[in-house]
Amino acid sequence: MMDWRQERTARDARLARARPHADGKVVPAARVVDLLEAILQPGDRVCLEGDNQKQADCLARGLSGCDPARVHDLHMVQSGIVLPEHLDIFEQGIARRLDYSYSGPQGGRIAKMLYGGQIELGAVHTYLELFARYFIDLTPNVALIAGVSADRDGNLYTGPNTEDTPTVVEATAFKNGVVVAQVNEIVDRVPRVDIPGDRVDFVVEADTPFYVEPLFTRDPGAVTETQILMAMMAIKGIYAEYGIRRLNHGIGFGTAAIELLLPTYAERLGLKGQIATHWALNPHPSLIPAIESGWVKQIHCFGSEVGMDKYIRARPDVFFTGSDGSLRSNRAFCQTAGLYACDLFIGSTLQIDLQGHSSTVTTNRVAGFGGAPNMGSDPHGRRHPSDTWMKAGQEAGGTGDPALRRGRKLVVQLVETFGDKLVPAFVERLDALELARKLNLELAPVMVYADDVTHIVTEEGIANLLLCRTLDEREQAIRGVAGYTDVGRGRDHAEVERLRARGIIRRPEDLGIEPLDADRSLLAARSIKDLVHWSGGLYEPPAKFRNW
C-alpha cells in the first residue's frame, strides 16, 4: 500500500511536539526557541519572513538561538536577507543552503560568506520567480512570518506591510507545512483578516514590534541638479513621447526627481492626465505632491512605507485599502501588475556594459535584485495592446503582418555616468562576471538583460536602443551617452553624430531642454518638511528624516 499522507503525518507530529509550549495557538516570546526546536527538523526548507521591508525579527532571533545539534542544515527560502540573524544562522551551522532575492543591507557580508563557502547558494531570484518556486520545487516545510496583530484563533492582521505574507502562507499551509506568526499584540478581534486563522498554527506575541525598513523615502533636499536635468529628459523624451500612463518607478533619486517634477515641469508641458496616472509603486513620499495635484488615478503597492499610513488612509480613491481603512499591499500581485499591466519600468543600476546588460553586483557586494529584473523585463505573455506598447514594438522593427507584431515594454535605465566616489557606471565588463567565475555560478547575476533594455538616460542624453539595428550601433549608442567615463571617451565621434542625426541619441538641446531649468527651484518639494506640508500634515516621516 502506498502511503499518501506521509507529509500530513509528519506535520501532525511536528504540531504534537510543539503543543506543550503553547496555550492553544498562543506562544509567549520567551518560549520561541523551544517552539522552533520542537517544530523544525534537520534539512527542512524554511521561509524566515525577511521581506523587502518587514522582518520577522523575533522569530529570527529565536531561530538563531536554537541548538545547532538539534536544528541544522536548514535550506532557507526567503526573499530578503536583511537582518544579521539571517546570516548568523549560516555561521552557526543551523542553515546551510540559501535561495533568495534581495540582500540590500547585508550585501557586503553575504559576498564574504559566499566566497568563504559558508553559504551553499541555490540562486539569486527575482521576487516572482522565488514565489513561483514556493509552489513547485521550493515549498517551505515551515514558514516563520510577521504580522501586526492576531486573535487567539490565529486570524492575522498584517497591517499595511502585507508584502510577501499571503504568498508564503499559501504555499506552506496548503502543502502540509507549519506556519508560525509573530505579532506585535494578541487582540480579541483583529482590524481585518489578512490571513485566515486556519492557515496559522502558532502565534507568538513578540517582545518588540517587528522591524520595518523605510526603504522608499528619498529626501528631496538631496536631489541634485544633474538628477533634475535627467528627470526633465525622461519626462520630455520618453514619458511625453510614448504617452506613458501605466508605470513603475525604481527607488533612486533620479526617479524621485521625476515624481517631484510632475506637478511643475510636466504640468508646464501640458502633460497632466496624459502621463503617469496608474502606478505599481510603493507609497513613495516623493509622489505626494503629484497625488495632491491630481496627477495620480491609482496606485497598487508591493509593501508600504514608514510614516505613510495616515496619508494613505485619507486617500482611499488612490490606494488599495481594506475595510479597516489601512493599506493592503501584496508583493506577488504588485510584481505581476508591474510585469503585465505597466508599459514602463524606469530604474537605476550600478553597472552597465557595452551591450546594455546591467547589474548591481560588484565584486564585494551582492545586493540581490529587488523588483527590477521582473518589472524591467519584456513580458512575452502579454497580449493586450496600448499605444505605448505598440509604438515601442514598432520602433523595435520586425517584418510581416503588423497585426502579428508584438509590442514592447519600455525598460529604461536612468543612470548618472559616475556614481559615488567617481566610480563609473559604464564598464567594459560587469563585475557580476568575475563574481560568477569566483563562485563557480553557471549564471552571472544580471539585473536587467541587454535585450530587455530599451532606453538609457544619462545627464548626457537619451540612447534609444529600440532603434539600433546592429550590435555596433548599440555599442556606440551606449558609449554616446556614457559621458566622460572610459567607455564614453572611447566612442567613435562620427558614428555618435550619425546616431544623433537618426534620433537614436538625443541631447538635452535636441529635446529643447533649457539648462537653466535644471535648478532645485523646479522641484515641487525641496525637503521632507515640504512633503509633510503637501500632505496636510498626514505624512509622518520617521525620525531620521526629520531635521527641523
Partner 1 sequence: MEKLSFRHTTRTALPGTRASAITGVVASGNLEVLLERNLAPDACHVEIDTAIKGYAEVWAAVVADFVARRQPGGLTITINDGGARPDTVSLRLAQGARLMELP
Q: Does 459 bind partner 1 (CB under 8 A)?
A: yes
Q: Which stretch binds partner 1 (CB under 8 A): 76-84, 105-113, 215-223, 512-520?
A: 512-520
Least spacing, CB of residue 228 vs partner 1, in Å: 9
Q: Which of 99, 201, 460, 473 binds partner 1 (CB under 8 A)?
A: 460
C-beta atoms surrounding 355 within 10 Å: 16
Residue pair 367/103 in contact (Cβ under 8 Å)? The answer is yes
CA 121 to chain centre: 21
In a 3-state reduction of DSSP, which class is residue 247? Answer: strand
Sequence-separated (6 or more) residues with CB below 8 Å from residue 545 = 214, 217, 219, 307, 528
Interface with partner 1 in residues 185-244 (CB under 8 A): 224-226, 229
Task: For partner 1, give the closer residue by CB, 264 or 485.
Answer: 485
Find the part of the chain contacting partner 1 (CB under 8 A) among 8-16, 22-30, 261-269, 505-513. Answer: 505-513
336, 375 Cβ separation under 8 angstroms? no
d(CA 53, CA 101): 13
- The CA distance from 409 to 84, in Å, is 37
**Partners of 457 in the β-ladder:** 414, 462
Binding partner 1 by CB under 8 A: which of 1, 404, 516, 543?
516
Least distance from partner 1 to the Cβ atom of residue 511, Å: 13
Residue number with CB closer to partner 1 (83 or 258): 258
Closest CA to 68 of 30, 90, 49, 94: 94
Binding residue (CB under 8 A) for partner 1 from 70, 222, 314, 484: 484
Question: Among 30-38, 59-67, 147-155, 515-523, which window interacts with partner 1 (CB under 8 A)?
Answer: 515-523
Write the interaction track for partner 1 spanning residues 398-437; mark x where CB under 8 A is met and - where it is not: ------------------xxx---x---------------
DSSP 143: E
Q: Which of 142, 3, 122, 136 is nearest to 62 (CA)?
A: 142
We find the least distance from the C-beta atom of residue 496 to partner 1, in angstroms, to be 11
Nearer Cβ to partner 1, position 182 or 227? 227
Binds partner 1 by CB under 8 A, chosen from 514, 536, 546, 547: 514
What is the CB-side half-sphere exposure of residue 79 using CA atoms within 13 A? Answer: 28
Question: Which CB, 238 or 518, lies closer to partner 1?
Answer: 518
Compare residues 32 and 518 and give the one whose CB is closer to partner 1.
518
Is there a contact between 288 and 259 (Cβ–Cβ < 8 Å)? no
| Interacting residues of 59 by C-beta distance below 8 A, sequence separation 6+ | 32, 36, 48, 49, 144, 145, 146, 180, 182, 204
Asked whether position 509 contacts partner 1 by CB under 8 A, the answer is yes
Alpha-carbon span 27 to 205, nearest angstrom: 7
> Please, which of residues 341-380 interact with partner 1 by CB under 8 A?
none
User: What is the C-alpha to C-alpha distance for residues 291 and 318, in angstroms, rounded to an integer?
Assistant: 8
For partner 1, give the closer residue by CB, 226 or 527.
Answer: 226
Residue 226 Cβ, how far from partner 1 at the closest point, in Å? 5
* Minimum distance of partner 1 from residue 284's CB (angstroms): 24
- Residue 489 sits in the site that holds partner 1 (CB under 8 A): yes
Residues near partner 1, by CB under 8 A: 224-226, 229, 416-418, 422, 458-460, 483-484, 489, 507-509, 514-516, 518
